[in-house]
Amino acid sequence: MLQELYQPNKEFAKNARIKNMCEYNELVDAANEDYEGFWGAFANEKIDWFEPFTNVLNETNAPFVKWFEGGKLNVAHQCIDRHIESRKNKAAIIFEGDRGDKQIITYLELYYQVNKFANLLKEDFGVKKGDRVVIYMPMIPEAAYAMLACARIGAIHSIVFGGFSAEALRDRINDAEAKVVITADGAYRKTKPYMLKPVVDEALAEGNSPVEKVLVVERNNEDLEWVAGRDYSYNELIKDKSPECPAEPMDSEDPLFLLYTSGSTGKPKGVQHNQAGYILWAQMTMEWVFDVKENDTYWCTADIGWITGHTYIVYGPLAMGATTVMFEGVITYPDAGRPWKMVEEYKINQFYTAPTAIRVLHKTGENEPAKYDISSLKVLGTVGEPIDPPAWKWYYEEVGQSKCAIVDTYWQTETGGHIVSPLPGATPIKPACATLPLPGIIGEILDPETGRKVGAGESGYMCVTRPWPSMIRGVWGDPERFIKSYFGDVKKDGKAVYFTGDGAVYGENGYITITGRTDDVINVSGHRMGTAEVEAAIKKHWNVAEVAVVGKPHEIKGEGIFAYIVLKSDEGVADEVEEVKAINNIIKKEIGNIAVCDDMVFAPGLPKTRSGKIMRRILRSIAKGEPITQDISTLEDPSVVEKIENMVKGV
């Protein structure tokens, strides 16, 4: 079966940026010995500063920290302008549309497109530095132009994943007080057109919206309703725009973007990332973890609506001057050979995806990779959730042809970039293990009670004990929540440290295996769902009295959503199928399809302590079909546990 460790490919390692564990350890030591010196040197080397920074790290107001104070830069300049001299004709973006249409955008072309877009936002919509712009877009090049155009003029973008509903979009627009929404009429999925603009219309329909203008990229040219004075066609407005637009000099700590993500309580929070630290680590991790070379072609299958798409489709690859592939379609359409066909055609060298995708491709197309010439592949990546050994084995042997390193990258929306990951030329990899913290990241597994670093074989909370450049700078509009969410749980030597929300365990060699969330966050197909959000949606159904939602292992998705629902009507459910459908429809409306429940049980009650706290652990065990180990005698009504167990067994 699987080996314990796989050594890096020797041929690959020879030319890798970090060639062996000695080099890795040297970098780790350098960061430990002189943390600010380490980061200051990289910031000087990697970033094309307009004005140099005067101070590396300011922790006076921790956890609100400042990196590279005094420095001025522009992220669009870093990603585009500075490459024009040596790479103007190099492909920046290779786009493959859903229906197989292709577009190659060179760095020079990207420069013109982004400049025109930036001029449009400035001149036609009056967008200024610091304004929030919501981007609700399909995976088309204009989405990347929109991000970079915002960065160029200093506007703060907030991308909302195209799968989110009108309600979810409205919440995010309102929380960010966005002035402009950039969207598309729609796009294509499995060759059929689908629509986005009508969702924006619905989100703005209630009135009282901060949004003044909506910019519509016409992709599928389906019929639309246009609101006069509010909605404008990008395709029209862009025509007469100048291809030159100065890049706004930004302070290192000016905000770059917001990205809303789920927490364990309440509404999604607007994770704020700032300019210099974010782009520095995006670029450095691209170079170290994927080891992309000048002539390489790199493909990350994420959607730009998630942090992976921000850092590893757009910002990271472009900051380092790489060629990044952008794909509009569905990786299993027309069949599960689609990605391997693309690897063959574009001679893709690095391929980065989520375990969910690997499981689907494995299940539905086990023998597909062998049908194509995928010998160009050098590094494979996974992200978003723990990968299981069978999927890992197939990925390593069939896709990686037993010669490619698999980088199991552990990170989060809040970390901006990878924090724990193998380096493909250096780290012996262990299946389904994120291995070691990257140099410069002081990642430690701590005991939540004592703050002590746990020993080999022990588990604890995955923490980062020093601030790092690409860390979250705040929760938009809610500094209290920032402190409470990330710096409230674990103290080391009496000082609050960043806690990821994940549990982890050390192996003998210091390797870190992430064991999953310790809070009420479910990881569905690598996407974070807060149980509280799903519960709030379900409660909107008139007949729901109480609800508790937990995660349950799912063959493809990693985790599925399992809901225990107590109805108001005493007679129980007249038509269970209808009720399930009605509740799922509310979830689709409130959040989106990704939050639809896999299982629903109409329970007679929920297991609660006498103080009224729902015992989710019991519900998790029942969902998994595990024996209940908790003491249930102290529950308000212990008999409810057996009743629910019996119902679930019957499901």
Residues that bind ligand WT7 in the complex, under the rule CB under 6 A: 261, 306-308, 383-386, 408-413, 434, 500-502, 514, 517, 523, 526-528
Residue type, 131: D
Question: Minimum CB separation from ligand WT7 for residue 420, in Å?
Answer: 8
245, 118 Cβ separation under 8 angstroms = yes
Known binding residue 132? Answer is no
Angle at 61 between CA 57 and CA 62, to 5 degrees: 75
Known binding residue 109? Answer is no
Angle at 610 between CA 608 and CA 616, to 5 degrees: 25
Residue type, 135: I
Known binding residue 210? Answer is no
Please, which residue, 119 or 413, has the CB nearer to ligand WT7? 413
Query: Which residue number is nearest to ligand WT7 in terms of Cβ?
Result: 413
Please, which residue, 466 or 528, has the CB nearer to ligand WT7? 528
Instruction: Give CA–CA dist 545/540, Å, rounded.
Output: 10
**What H or E segment, with its residue span, contains residue 308?**
helix 307-309
Pick from 339, 284, 338: which is nearest to 311 by CA?
A: 284
Instruction: Give CA–CA dist 567/69, Å, rounded.
Output: 55
Instruction: Give CA–CA dist 411/393, Å, rounded.
Output: 22
Write a three-state SS string for 616-647. HHHHHHHHHCCCCCCCCCCECCCHHHHHHHHH
Tokens of 424: 């493909």
Pick from 278, 280, 275, 277: which is nearest to 254 by CA?
A: 275
Question: Minimum CB separation from ligand WT7 for residue 523, in Å?
Answer: 5
Please, which residue, 175 or 414, has the CB nearer to ligand WT7? 414
Instruction: Give CA–CA dist 326/97, Å, rounded.
Output: 8
Please, which residue, 204 or 271, has the CB nearer to ligand WT7? 271
Backbone dihedral region of 510: left (phi > 0), alpha (psi from -120 to 50 degrees) or beta? left
Instruction: Give CA–CA dist 382/530, Å, rounded.
Output: 22
Instruction: Give CA–CA dist 143/93, Å, rounded.
Output: 12
Question: Minimum CB separation from ligand WT7 for residue 425, in Å?
Answer: 19
Residues 6+ positions from 369 with CB-CB distance below 8 Å: 337, 340, 398, 399
433 SS3 class: coil
Instruction: Give CA–CA dist 82/321, Å, rounded.
Output: 9
Query: Length of the chain, please?
Result: 651
Please, which residue, 107 or 461, has the CB nearer to ligand WT7? 461
Known binding residue 544? Answer is yes
Please, which residue, 112 or 411, has the CB nearer to ligand WT7? 411
Question: Minimum CB separation from ligand WT7 for residue 445, in Å?
Answer: 14
Known binding residue 541? Answer is yes
Q: Fill in the DSSP letter of residue 593.
A: G
Question: Minimum CB separation from ligand WT7 for residue 344, in Å?
Answer: 27
Residue 327 has φ and ψ, to the nearest 5°, of -125, 125
Known binding residue 254? Answer is no
Please, which residue, 118 or 436, has the CB nearer to ligand WT7? 436
Question: Minimum CB separation from ligand WT7 for residue 418, in Å?
Answer: 8
Known binding residue 386? Answer is yes
**What H or E segment, with its residue span, contains residue 66?**
strand 66-69
Question: Minimum CB separation from ligand WT7 for residue 410, in Å?
Answer: 4
Known binding residue 334? Answer is no
Return the bridge partners of 521, or none.
530
Question: Minimum CB separation from ligand WT7 for residue 386, in Å?
Answer: 4
Please, which residue, 154 or 355, has the CB nearer to ligand WT7? 355
Question: Minimum CB separation from ligand WT7 for residue 384, in Å?
Answer: 4
Please, which residue, 105 or 256, has the CB nearer to ligand WT7? 256
Please, which residue, 309 or 321, has the CB nearer to ligand WT7? 309
Residues 6+ positions from 484 with CB-CB distance below 8 Å: none
Question: Minimum CB separation from ligand WT7 for residue 439, in Å?
Answer: 18
Q: Which residue has the tokens 């590094």?
A: 379
Query: Binding site for Mg(2+): what residues are annotated?
Result: 541, 544
Query: Binding site: what residues are annotated?
Result: 308, 384-386, 502, 517, 525, 528, 541, 544
Query: Binding site for ATP: what residues are annotated?
Result: 384-386, 502, 517, 528
Query: Binding site for CoA: what residues are annotated?
Result: 308, 525
